[in-house]
Amino acid sequence: MQGLDRFIPTHRKIEYINKLLKIGFDTIDFGSFVSHKAVPQMADSVKVLKQLDLTTTKSKLLAIVANKRGAEDASRHASITYLGFPLSISETFQQRNTNKSIPQALNTLEEIKNICVRSGKKLVTYISMGFGNPYGDPYEVALVSQFVDILITLGSDVISLADTVGAAESTSIEALFASVSGQFPNAEIGVHLHSAPQTSRAKIEAAYRGGCRRIDGAMRGFGGCPMANDSLVGNIATETIVSILEQDGIQLNLDKASFEEGLLLADKIFNEAVA
């Protein structure tokens, strides 16, 4: 939702996320504790959070934060399990996304981890531009491994390799995951892929073959990173991920009726926002 110019009413966000909570996903990224000026779409995250029905769901809530203040604000809410922080291995993108250098971002990450420890939260760190970048900044598999090592040392509970601009090829995805999983077998390492629809299947299957078992998606594939390019490459559709994994015989134990209702609601809400 964050890249939309038209504000989605708070009651519609609440309706939508409450529907997602019935499906059975492991984790739902429900909102952000970031600058309202930078991301006005997320200005009502606290209001949304207070109206979510968590009485029967097995899903855990994740909130994105960009600095110590946001982490402190998010940590006060008992219903939030994960704080997510975007760390880029591209210096250019790190500046664009959080107005920090990479060393400054690592310092912030350490502060956020300390807040997580005090408040009983878990830290998810996204390695943005984890499969390359369009800015000419240095990139190689060894650099990704170096950052994974740093994040594990800092105490990140989950690390998600993010293909922020949809540049990754299936071969590079499988190779990177095989390499990182082999070096850090006890780490929980997921993937956040952006892709055109015609390449989604190959990318998901490549990540799975490489050992990835935590895959991010977005209903209907809507969205992208508003800080990356003017022309956004969408998130991989959740329904595509589910379809591929189930075709491969993986049991996801999702409530299919609620899933279909969630897809229909996503169509309505996002069409209203872009109409």
Taking 50 as the threshold, does the pLDDT of residue 227 lie above it? no
Identify whether the C-beta of residue 134 lies closer than 8 Å to the C-beta of residue 229.
yes
Can you tell me the mean pLDDT for 133-159? 96
Look at residue 232 in the predicted model and tell me its pLDDT: 46
Strands 60-65 and 188-193: unpaired
Kindly state the percentage of the chain with pLDDT values over 70: 95
Taking 90 as the threshold, does the pLDDT of residue 62 lie above it? yes
Q: Which two tokens stand for residue 147?
A: 């950052």
- Confidence category of residue 56, pLDDT binned at 50, 70, 90: very high
Look at residue 177 in the predicted model and tell me its pLDDT: 93
28-43 pLDDT, tens digit per residue, is 999 999 988 888 899 9
Worst-scoring range by mean pLDDT, 14-18, 163-167, 187-191, 239-243? 163-167
- Residue in the structure block whose two tokens are 């190689």: 140
- Confidence category of residue 167, pLDDT binned at 50, 70, 90: confident
Can you tell me the mean pLDDT for 8-18? 97
User: Using only C-alpha atoms, what is the Rg of the chain?
Assistant: 18
Q: Which CATH code is given to the segment(s) 10-274?
A: 3.20.20.70
Can you tell me the mean pLDDT for 120-136? 95
Taking 70 as the threshold, does the pLDDT of residue 229 lie above it? no
Using alpha carbons, select from 273, 258, 55 the residue that is nearest to residue 238: 258
250 Cβ contact partners less than 8 Å away, ≥ 6 residues apart? none
Taking 80 as the threshold, does the pLDDT of residue 273 lie above it? no
Using alpha carbons, select from 66, 130, 12 the residue that is nearest to residue 4: 12
Q: How far apart are CA 129 and CA 161, in angstroms?
A: 8
Mean pLDDT value across the chain? 92
Look at residue 223 in the predicted model and tell me its pLDDT: 62
